Structure 1
Amino acid sequence: MQNNAFDLNFLYQTYNLLVYNVALNYVQNVEDAEEITQDVFVKVNYSLKNFNQKSSLKTWIYRITVNQSLDFIKKKNSQKRFFIFGKRNENEYDYLNASSFEHPGIELEKKEEAELLFTTINTLPENQKTAFILSKIDGLSNPEVAEIMEISISAVESLVFRAKSSLKDKL
């Protein structure tokens, strides 16, 4: 299959739910996950001609999604710091007081527990967080996680183990 044979509409129809769910697991907010999903497919559209097929298309899209999600979180955190120390404006109150946990896949009765879990997951170092989310929440195998993160399978196992240990300590 040639790079130019990929149809963006087909890719969107095939992978948009996967991208959205991965993003949602990172940000726990519907609007943010939708924004990340849009950003991922814009990036896929611009980068498709450079896709070298060393990995599967699904793995490549996963990698873009993880990177976009992490970049989104970093950008949002730096904006929050700017609001605290920088210029104040009319959007500050709305931004700082917006609901931080909104995950439609979680039943209302379990929402508090899930919010605590995701809040704690968000305190993990980036690589542990990514390995844990891909492995334990998205249900990917260690070889799949290793390919997405571009690390060895033993490194994935170690990251997941450390993430689980840290979560046990914190919870």
Structure 2
Amino acid sequence: MIKKLKSNDNEVFNELVILYKNRVINTCYRFLLNKNDAEDVSQEVFIEIFQSIKSFRGDSKLSTWIFRIAVSKSLDEIKKRNRKKRISSIAQTLHLDDVAHWISGGKMPDEDLIASDNMAQINKALNKLPENQRIAFTLSKIDGFNNLEISEIMKTTTIAVESLIYRAKKKITADLEHILKK
């Protein structure tokens, strides 16, 4: 497959996209927490793969290389967001329209709002973690990668990954227990 990709075989590239599309979108979503942004970034991931496949040396598995690009592109998007601070996306995330409707005498927020609030609190707890711990924890506990795959994606050792995940769990346990008790 790699050989055909390097020779610009579009059919094989389409197969690669079909094979990895959903997992790449899910990985991006875990970092970006926005479906549209995750889809946009995943397109950038596949563009990068298409443009850079000739430089792929094969030091790691193709899938590891793909997810390394996905994580990198997602983190770039987060940095871009932090520079812009879009108020409209914050309002959308917090469902301020629903809350305003409820305060003005409308129906109480529904379960979707409560679930969204719980997810926002979980994400807030994850965002308190240092970047490397958040990446390792997310790839392990949410995306289901094993420590060897994570070490390849993050370009570090498996021992470092184990340590990052352990420290991340330790830091957010209290926050997550509080959320789950609610």
- TM-score, normalised to structure 2, is 0.77
- The match for 1:67 among 47, 59, 72 is 72
Match of residue 35 from structure 2: 30
How far apart in 2 are the matches of 1:119 and 1:47? 34
Following TM superposition, by how much is the alpha carbon of 1:134 offset from its aligned partner in structure 2, in angstroms? 0.5
Distance 1:100 1:4, change over 3 A: farther
Larger mean Cα displacement after TM superposition, 153-162 or 115-124: 115-124
SS at match of 2:128: coil
Q: Where does 1:37-76 land on structure 2 (aligned, <5 Å)?
A: 37-76=42-81
SS at match of 2:36: helix
Q: Where does 1:1-171 land on structure 2 (aligned, <5 Å)?
A: 1-2=2-3, 3-4=6-7, 7-80=12-85, 94-99=88-93, 108=112, 110-171=115-176
How far apart in 1 are the matches of 2:64 and 2:44? 17
Q: Is the helix fraction higher in 1 or 2?
A: 2
Residue deviations 1:49-79, cap 9 Å, x none?
1111111111000000000000100011011
Count of aligned residue pairs for this structure pair = 155
Larger RCO (CA under 8 A, 6+ residues apart)? 1
How far apart in 1 are the matches of 2:17 and 2:94? 27
The code of the aligned residue for 2:88 comes to D
Following TM superposition, by how much is the alpha carbon of 1:140 offset from its aligned partner in structure 2, in angstroms? 1.1
Instruction: Report if aligned partners of 1:29, 1:100 keep a CA contact under 8 Å in 2.
Output: no
What is the aligned-residue RMSD (CA, Å)? 2.1
Same amino acid, percent of matched pairs: 39
The code of the aligned residue for 1:50 comes to S
Instruction: Report if aligned partners of 2:94, 2:117 keep a CA contact under 8 Å in 1.
Output: no
Following TM superposition, by how much is the alpha carbon of 1:24 offset from its aligned partner in structure 2, in angstroms? 0.6
Instruction: Report if aligned partners of 1:19, 1:62 keep a CA contact under 8 Å in 2.
Output: yes
Q: Whose Rg is larger?
A: 2
How far apart in 2 are the matches of 1:118 and 1:95? 15
- TM-score, normalised to structure 1, is 0.82
Could you list the runs of 4 or more consecutive aligned residues of structure 1 that deviate by over 6 angstroms after TM superposition? Answer: none
Task: Specify every segment of 5 or more residues in structure 2 that has no aligned partner in the other structure, as ranges.
Answer: 96-110, 177-182
How far apart in 2 are the matches of 1:170 and 1:32? 27
